[in-house]
Amino acid sequence: MKFGIITHAVHKIKDGQIYAYEPYVREMNLWAKHVDQILVLAPVSTDKISSIEIAYQHNNIKVIEIPNFDITTVKNLLRSLLVMPIICWQIYKVMKQSDHIHLRCPGNIGLLGCIVQILFPSKPKTAKYAGNWDPSSHQPITYKLQKWLLSNTFFTKNIKVLVYGEWPNQTKNIVPFFTASYAKNEIEQVPEKKLNSIVKFIFVGTFSEGKQPLLSVKTIEKLLSHNYDVQLDMYGEGSEFNSVKKYINDKELSNRINLHGNKSKEIVKNAFQKAHFLIFISKSEGWPKVVAEAMFWRCLPISTDISCVNYMLDFGNRGEILNPNSSVEEISEIILNYIHKEKSYQEKVLSAQQWSQNFTLNKLESEIKKIFKNE
């Protein structure tokens, strides 16, 4: 089988190996086990391979390079109008060659893929929608268009659209799905984490406005001001990194808040195993893997009621669910409630671990295998 992937994920090529963002490649390697040849249509970068990128595991894979584009400015929009016909033609050629078409959405390339795939109604297709599928959420018009095309059974045929969470009134194209970070054989016994000494917090994610990393910092600052023995370790990089770093330095918090940057999966896993709480007050998510990873290692998530987080946290029984616009005072009060009522913390964190450890890479591979089998 020739498997055609249409994605906006930036790829890098070094010494005959093809690299991209680790969580994406980790999943694609599971799909790769069931196909003979892979065609990846994606932007390509010559930048250095980073610590959060890994290589595909397949001996017959080819990357078809396309220009990256966005429509955030007038200049970029004009450039995009020039390159989009070229990209659409490249997408068409990959789809024509492929036995199975796989779209990665949402994204600019995914949107064009959603349009071009209409020309191939009889070919088996899958689309992994890694964003927020919640029909009531406020999203960019391009995301809404992708969701409309993917769920429209007139324009989009012979496809399984894999979405995070279970939502009412969906078309037959839509299949509730999940993702995973750890294999079954990685499961370890994590000792009970007591709250009677230093309480450790963790933030993992892009330092962007939507992930609100500074809110996590200010929450720790608030707890410290009330003489609570707390520590925050932050993993990730992004546009807000320098402003967060400046705030930490200006407020003399560097002895309690540590900025680690992007680190490998193994380093972050060890940090989850030591942390008591994940603070992740994000405004936009699909399946927030850091929430699932925290739960896996007995680290209680404090997150937001977006996308499928309510489903993951069982509406507050496996973690704490807040409004994305929650204040530092509100978040701090929630944390103090757990510190003062440790029994509730231990019950929830154990329930969270038991639930999350059902979603392993082994189970994900089994579900992917079923998709191919049922074509």
Beta-carbon-side half-sphere exposure of residue 144 (alpha carbons within 13 Å): 7
Give the model's pLDDT for residue 72: 62
Q: What is the DSSP letter of 97?
A: H
What pTM did the predictor assign? 0.90
pLDDT higher than threshold 80 for residue 5? yes
Confidence grade of residue 71 (pLDDT, cut at 50, 70, 90): low
What's the whole-number mean pLDDT along residues 104-121? 96
Q: Kindly report the length of the chain.
A: 375
**Residue 327: phi, psi to the nearest 5?**
-85, 165
153-206 pLDDT, tens digit per residue, is: 999 999 999 999 889 999 999 999 999 999 999 999 999 999 988 999 999 999
Please determine, for residue 70, whether its predicted confidence score (pLDDT) is greater than 90: no
Is residue 253 classed exposed, middle or buried when 0-12, 13-18 and 19+ CB atoms within 10 A define those classes?
middle
What is the per-residue pLDDT across 207-244, written as a single tens digit (0 to 9) for each? 999 999 999 999 999 999 999 999 999 999 999 999 99
Please, which pLDDT band fits residue 139 given cuts at 50, 70 and 90? confident
Strand order in the sheet with 53-55: 44-45, 11-14, 17-21, 53-55
* Helix-strand-coil split of the chain, %, nearest 5: 40, 20, 40
Helices (H), the chain: 22-32, 74-97, 108-116, 141-151, 213-225, 241-250, 265-274, 289-296, 309-312, 328-340, 342-356, 361-373
Q: Domains plus CATH for the chain?
A: 2-180+360-373 (3.40.50), 185-356 (3.40.50.2000)
* DSSP code of residue 119: G
Quote the pLDDT of residue 40: 98
Q: Rounded to an integer, what is the distance from CA 320 to the centroid of its chain?
A: 19
pLDDT value for 79? 79
Structure tokens at 366: 């089994």
How does the average pLDDT of the chain come out, rounded? 94
Alpha-carbon distance 302 to 304, whole Å?
7
Nearest to 236 by CA among 217, 250, 220: 217
Summarised one tens digit per residue, pLDDT across range 270-311 is 999 999 999 999 987 667 899 999 999 999 999 998 888 999
Above 70 in pLDDT, residue 20?
Answer: yes
